[in-house]
Chains A and B, each alone.
Chain A
Amino acid sequence: MSKARSAIIGVGEVPTGRFPERSRWDIIYDTCMEAVCDAGLDKNDIEGVITVAPQAQPRLTAEISFGKIPEELGLKNCKDVCIGNAGGASTTNCLRMAEHWVTSGIAKAVLIPHVTVHTTIPLDEVIGFFATAGMDLQWEYPFGTTYNGMAAMMTQRYMYETGTTAEELASVVVALRAWAALDPNSMFFGKPLTIEKVLSSPMVSTPLHARECNVLADGGGAMVVTSAERAADITDTPVYKLGHGVRYVGAAPVLRHDDSMRESWRGAFKDAFEQAGVTKDDIDVFEFYGAYPMGQCVMLEAAGICELGDSGKFIMEGCTSPGGKVPCATIGDAVGRGHTGSGVSMANYIETARQIMGKAGERQVPDCRLALATASGGSGMNTTATVFGREIR
């Protein structure tokens, strides 16, 4: 049974899309100032900054690593600064480190920012980054790996093992884009899709069509974290971190044994639910970050919501879509939101917080009291699951 130790008390975000004219620091200002104001704090209440490492932007990463954010923003009482990099799971690690800082006397409140601008990075550099992100430089990369290709191979195997059809897989994208269409911060706001449109988009890497792959985008977000003890004094809508589970899978996809992703998700969910003192049936919204359509299927099955191989049908029936009985990924995952590198998980946690705060607009799940958020890094090197809730349990 959980006794929450930390809470998210404020969030800030700029829309995800293509904004080459916006500098990265411009986005950092806007998201950080919004998050601190949303928390109802003064800038000088922020005593620590833990940044989600931007991917493929080494100069910015160095600037942030070496302490520029508190200075730039004038956070006069900041005591320490750090950057967290675990690819798509970076935000998870920043949240965990923030929990330590706010409970150990280092900081009363911690700011967690992220920014990525893909559109001003030369295309070949971006493709090169993703061709090696989570691939082995000796045993995989020389054969022409791509990020899409790695997901495609996992998807191919998943379809073979479970009998999931191309239509079912496409329907995952349809469900995700239905959520994204309701999200003004999404790249695909107001742009729902049909199965036919997914399947008629060009094949990128079999069995994945273009609309089943992610579109690289620019964006940023920020969160403010404080201790569970202080949270209710600062805000009326604290988002308590109630339980957490994580499993390491492995770096090189070729080494992962047949069931490793599923087992890892099962383990992470089990720990997170047990720590929070809840079951899957208590969860009001499942904020799954799967990066590719298959990820939603694997997580639904690992969480015990669907039997192995039944998730495609479940999604195609609309069960996870807006209005469905098991709302999943209400920003539309990376495929609906637009891919901002490690920022997808930032967007996912921000959405989780919004759902609990009751600020999710048209996507709001009615009376959302408990949410599960997931993340995964690299090409699936780990699986993380976190339960958030409206009350300390």
Chain B
Amino acid sequence: MSEYSKPLPAVQPWSRPFWEGTRENRLLIQECKACGAKIFYPRKACPECWSAELGWSEACGRGKVYTFTVTLTGVEEKFAGDLPYVLAMIDLDEGIRMMGNVVECDPGDVEIGMEVEVVFERVTDEITLPKWRPFRG
């Protein structure tokens, strides 16, 4: 696992539960107990009301492609082996939007509005990245 040379997320203390969640194949969304806001990305205080009373709920793991690009060249050396890869913004059913990769399909098949589901890619002992593949049901 120490082979992974691509950048790892710069985790903050308050986002640790998110990354503990992905390690257990669960996609967690931060929520504000004071105002009910669903928060992405996770914060130390609610960006709506500044409450520090924050909790977590599990997302269903489904969403739609909001936009995407098939990356073909011009990447850092550490990503070169992945080319071509799909970088995408995913609208989760819960109403938040996340950046990710669409995997397990031909990059040419990806389109805006496409239904996707989360898959978890364990890259180190600490970090598991949430990725997205075409919805299989």
Known: A252-B41, A254-B89. A144 touches B74 (CB 8 A): no
Give A160 Cβ to nearest chain B Cβ, in Å.
Answer: 5
Q: Report the Cα distance A138→B16, complex, angstroms.
A: 11
B72 at the interface (CB under 8 A from A): yes
Within 8 A of A (CB), among B74-111: 74-77, 79, 82, 85, 87-89, 97-101
Query: B68 interface residue, CB < 8 Å from A?
Result: yes
Q: Does B15 contact A (CB under 8 A)?
A: yes
B129 contacts chain A at the CB level, 8 A cutoff: yes
Question: CB within 8 A of B41: which of A136, A203, A204?
Answer: A136
Q: Residue A144 contacts which of B41, B68, B75 (CB distance < 8 angstroms)? A: B75
B67 touching A156 by the CB < 8 A rule?
A: yes
Measured between beta carbons, the chain A residues less than 8 angstroms from B67 are: 153-154, 156-157, 160
Contact A146 B71 (CB under 8 A): yes
User: Which residues of B sit under 8 angstroms from A141, Cβ to Cβ?
Assistant: 7, 9
B74 near A145 (CB under 8 angstroms)? no
Number of A interface residues at 8 Å Cβ cutoff, please give it.
35
Residue of chain B at shortest CB distance from A208 = B69
**How many contacting A-B pairs (Cβ < 8 A)?**
102
Mostly, the B contact residues are: mixed
Whether A131 and B73, one on each chain, are in contact in the complex, defined by CB atoms closer than 8 angstroms, is no
Is residue B136 within 8 Å, beta carbon to beta carbon, of the partner chain?
no
Known A138-B15, A153-B67, A157-B66; judge A144-B72 contact (CB<8 A).
Answer: no
**CB proximity to B under 8 Å, residues A116-160:** 124, 127-128, 131, 136-146, 148-149, 152-154, 156-157, 160
**Known contacts A137-B9, A141-B7, A144-B6: does B68 contact A153 (CB below 8 Å)?**
yes
Q: Does A206 contact B (CB under 8 A)?
A: yes
Tell me whether A205 is interfacial, beta carbon within 8 Å: yes
Minimum C-beta distance from A180 to chain B (A):
21
Known: A149-B71, A206-B70, A254-B98. A142 touches B9 (CB 8 A): yes
**How many residues of chain B have a CB within 8 Å of chain A?**
35
- Write out the residue numbers on chain B whose beta carbons fall within 8 Å of the beta carbon of A127: 74-76
Instruction: Output the nearest chain B residue to A157 by Cβ-Cβ distance.
Output: B67
Q: Is the CB of B72 within 8 A of A138?
A: no
User: How close is B41's CB to chain A, nearest CB, in angstroms?
Assistant: 5
| Nearest neighbor of A203 in chain B, beta-carbon distance | B72
A105 within 8 A of B: no
Residues of A within 8 A of B97 (CB): 254-255
Contacts of A144 in B (CB 8 A): 6, 71, 75, 79, 82, 85, 87, 101
Residues of A within 8 A of B70 (CB): 203, 205-206
Q: Which residues of the partner chain B approach A154 to less than 8 Å between Cβ atoms?
A: 67
**Cβ of A58 under 8 Å from chain B:** no
Residues in A lying within 8 Å of B, measured CB to CB: 124, 127-128, 131, 136-146, 148-149, 152-154, 156-157, 160, 202-208, 213, 252-255
Q: Can you list 25 A-B contacts (CB < 8 A)?
A: A127-B75, A127-B76, A131-B75, A138-B41, A139-B98, A141-B7, A141-B9, A142-B7, A143-B100, A143-B101, A143-B129, A144-B85, A146-B75, A152-B69, A153-B67, A153-B68, A156-B69, A156-B112, A160-B67, A205-B69, A205-B73, A205-B74, A205-B87, A208-B69, A255-B97
